[in-house]
Structure 1
Amino acid sequence: MSDQVVPAVINLDVPGPVISRHLYGHFAEHLGRCIYGGFYVGEDSEIPNEGGIRLDVVEALRALDIPNLRWPGGCFADEYHWMDGIGPKQDRPSMVNTHWGNVEENNHFGTHEFMALCELLGAEPYISGNVGSGTVREMSDWVEYLTRDGDSPMVRLRKQNGREEPWKIRFWGLGNEAWGCGGNMSAQQYAAEARRFGTYCRDHGGNKLYRIAAGANSADYAWTETLMKQLGELGCAYRPQPFMQALSFHYYTIPGTWQDKGDATVFDTDDYYRTLAKAAYVDELITGHANVMDCYDPGKHVGLVLDEWGTWWNVEPGTNPGFLYQQNTLRDALVASLHFDIFHRHADRLVMANIAQTVNVLQAMILTDPDTKALVLTPTYHVFEMNKGHQDAASLRVDLPAGVPARETLATVSLSASRKDGKVLVSLSNLDAGAPADVELDLRGGALSGVRARILTAGNLQDHNTPGAPDTIAPRAHDQVTATANGLRVHLPAHSFITVEGRLG
């Protein structure tokens, strides 16, 4: 089949909303081998570590400029009692993780270990508090323990546990999935709880909290409207109440059924297209929640947060079904690249997103092998790395013609662009499983010099990285970018992700 030519217009001199770096956020739940055996191996491990934190994982994530890390859940957050995870490790009580495998945990990875991890990563902590089974006082005390200076019972306890200075922690989640594992509440019930918990989560000293209410499941726009009503009256004079600054929603790409989600590595072309179409649906969801919010908050004071997203497959054969361990193929990478294009288009309202999850769980960045101790970077990891130049950059509008190639409802060419510090980054995805395409970039209001491009692709959609073949899918230089009278022509092989970077001339 001959290459399809897709024209696209980018106005380099008309910057749009800034793409928050927090759209490239991550999620680490006490689930399977994400924390224990992933981030945390213990101080006695033969694997190089600092205070039990695995250093090769830290190094790999620092290369992504990881902006934030959400912890301790997820569903686990609403059964986690933080006081059990501080103090001498030998004195910490164990607990049962009822949500994920019914395993016993020794609480050796707790608040201080998480804060040490964030400091090693250079990432902002995003702590999800316990609303489902916890108390207002418990969360209020946690905020005080972490962020208050001076003298108080919680400050004295923190100092007793070895930390003199308070931490700066902006992001606090008021529970998680309150409609389900976080308490099975109605929207009205949860809204009342969020007002109460948010009220008693105090700003201490110069630490100003950004409270994120537990929002909707997928397309539950009524949940979003219920929360927005709690924050103020309908109309242009909307000034949100101070007990929450953002609300979240969750959406996973699941092409199958909840009972049979599909296989991570064994799938055909129809499965592939079905998956990408499900991924593209996140655009409609963000638009829907943003439209509801705009009715109440046209000034966009309240942020929208997608703090769980990614592919969810059946677990790998032979692994604990409660651990959610799955492989990661080129298909997963293209799901990620498509999500980021959509996120960039909604940068005026979407302020944070957190892929689920960072290590060994669901659409992970990193897989660690328990037998060989090897660390494997997934194809999704490479999308994050190739795209990191978009963090805190001004979005650039990309105009595509009506005739973009499509497979049924799925547009098979996707683009986004941004500018920062005199550089422009363009991300391009060809989602067509078999046909290449060429994109003609009409660059207006400027020109690019020193252009370089990289490509992420593979021979097969099902290809993936393993300890024995860690670089089956990895970025490489892409030389099929040529100058034209109006800009650039970029060749996109079938099923590929490409970034093009240049300096504004």
Structure 2
Amino acid sequence: MAKLMINRNKKEGTIAPEIYGHFSEHLGRCIYEGLYVGENSEIPNVNGMRTDVVEALKEIKIPVLRWPGGCFADEYHWKDGIGPKENRKKMVNTHWGGVVEDNSFGTHEFFELCRQLGCKTYINGNLGSGTVQEMSEWVEYMTFNGVSPMADLRKKNGHEEPWTIDYFGVGNENWGCGGNMRPQYYADEYRRYQTYVRNYDPQKPIQKICGGANVDDYDWTRKVLETTHDHTVPEFHGFMDGLSLHYYVHPEGWEIKGSATDFDEEVWYKTLKKALYMETLVERHGKIMDQYDPDKKIGMIVDEWGCWFTVEPGTNPGFLYQQNTIRDALVAGITLNIFNKHCDRVKMANLAQMVNVLQSVILTEGPKMIKTPTYHVFHMYRHHQGATLLNSTLTGVGETGIGEWKVPEVTESVSEDAEHIITVTLNNLSADEEKEIEIAFAGDEHVYSVKEAKVVSAEMHAHNTFDVPELVKEEEFTAYKKCGNGIKVMLPPCSVVELRLQ
């Protein structure tokens, strides 16, 4: 029998709540129709933000939200999105669908959304097509609490007090859509631009995020760090608080991608195998970071991750709208377990994207809203936020899969919160077989009981629709029994399971 051995005496770090972060770009129907409908909409809203979506997102304890991009960030000029809405510039969103962007959702609206969600703010600045002055003035506009041209402009536009920027990304994907730069060139630009991202309030320092690699471009990571850390003097430390990493799961490759709902068992395993590749990326990029930052003061920020499939038939290809099945739930569970177990280096991650785009947690259609299978995984895993990672080891677990696409039967992570409740999250990657796991505790005579147990499980193609909105959802999990001081669990196929032990 497979066994999960937990050692409560071996604590391995704190799981940053920001690992469970999200991403909202001016892309398709993520912001407009998804998050923001405007103050005059018939859809219930508070200051333009959809009430149903905001309330659903609050239930999964959104810790941080990234905005305005993505590729959109490096063509976004923030002054277009402030002031009276009738005077705001209109533009064509050349990256995403060629539709008109009217800038009715801008800086003030973003901070209002974060206020309603109760989450931290992650702003991505325009390095690709913007100037140092533009970026510097935006930071001043948002955070300066004094007399200055930008602070005065903010007050004129109706917000007397400054906001707090928790994280600021200096550009996005500057190896690609953010300027097609070489790593050394971007790193020099990063050094210059970040200098002018001023900390106007020393009590609320801005965490600065440097643009990192695409997937396995280890050369980018190495050369960026070589350049940013060259000739660095001690007082210059802290100019980089995070280095980003982007990775999307494309089961059929970048060009084809593959359907979100029409796939066979081989593609099921191929998808999960590619999701597991995140561990290799975190470890290998992490080793390069260790050479320059052995104390792990610079966080790895995986600010774009998730499944990227072919868009749903009949939708705008530039809107990246896709369905979300139990396969997505497994990708989320696998990936979040990986981030948890690497919490010494991974300090933030942002699922792409929050609503109506790629692997979203919510889909909307007019006044209707549904929660996806991925939403329910985030809802279960919220208990890991801010908890202490416990040492855990799986033994007796084999592989499942087809041909070259073999994956572990089970993945897991374990944490303990401030109330000493232990959260165990388990994924059964098999498409058709149950798996029994014994949960045991090393050197611990305490007899554990199950405080709460939940499962998300269904046939691998199962997904929620606006006609059948709760086909896949969290349900009570009862397939467990006590054994000694531990628990025996029978995991259904295609499942994400959470047990809360005390």
The TM tier, using the shorter chain, reads: over 0.9
Give 2:207's aligned residue: 210
Trace 1:56-455 onto structure 2 (pairs within 5 A): 56-205=52-201, 206-232=203-229, 241-370=237-366, 373-401=367-395, 403-407=397-401, 409-421=406-418, 422-444=420-442, 445=444, 446-455=446-455
- Secondary structure in 1 aligned to 2:30? coil
Q: Is the 8 A contact 1:27 1:71 kept in 2?
A: yes
Q: Is the 8 A contact 1:231 1:241 kept in 2?
A: no
What amino acid is the match of 2:186?
Y
Q: Does 1:47 align with 2:43?
A: yes
Mark the runs of 5 or more structure 2 residues left unpaired by the alignment: none
Residues 15 and 419, structure 1, Cα contact 8 Å, conserved in 2: no
CA contact (8 A) 1:418 1:424 kept: yes
Deviations 1:305-332 (A, max 9, x none): 0000000000000000000000000000
Amino acid at match of 2:448: L
Contact 2:3 2:396 (8 Å CA) reproduced = no
The whole-number CA distance in structure 1 between the counterparts of 2:466 and 2:406 is: 37
Matching residue's letter, 2:213: A
* Amino acid across the alignment from 1:491: M
* Alpha-carbon spacing, 1:189–1:231, altered in 2? closer, same or farther (3 Å): closer
Secondary structure of 2:152's aligned partner? helix
Q: In 2, distance between residues paired with 1:380 and 1:406?
A: 22
Cα shift at 1:427:
0.2
SS at match of 1:448: coil
Structure 1 gaps of 5+ residues are: none
Q: Whole-Å Cα distance in 2 between the matches of residues 38 and 427 of structure 1?
A: 29
252 and 239 in structure 1: CA distance in 2 versus 1, 3 angstrom threshold: farther
Q: 1:292 to 1:33 in 2, by over 3 A?
A: same
CA contact (8 A) 1:187 1:223 kept: yes
Return closer, same or farther for 1:405/1:197 CA change in 2, 3 Å cut-off.
same
Q: Give the 3 Å change call, closer, same or farther, for CA 233–406 of structure 1 in structure 2.
A: farther
Q: Deviations over 1:30-63 (max 9, x none)?
A: 0000011110111111000112111110000000
C-alpha distance after superposition, 1:279-300 (max 9, x if no partner): 0000000001000011121111
Residue by residue over 1:347-381, the C-alpha shift from the partner in whole angstroms, topping out at 9 and shown as x without a partner, is: 000000000000000000100013xx210000000
Q: Deviations over 1:213-251 (max 9, x none)?
A: 11100001111112222343699x998633221110100
SS at match of 1:216: strand
C-alpha contact 1:232 1:239 (8 A) present in aligned 2:
no
- 8 Å contact from structure 2 (residues 449, 482) kept in 1: no
Number of corresponding residues? 495
Kindly provide the amino acid, as one letter, of the partner of residue 389 in structure 2: S
Q: TM-score, normalised by structure 1?
A: 0.96
Q: Distance in 2 between matches of 1:140 and 1:170?
A: 16
Letter of the 2:209 counterpart? I
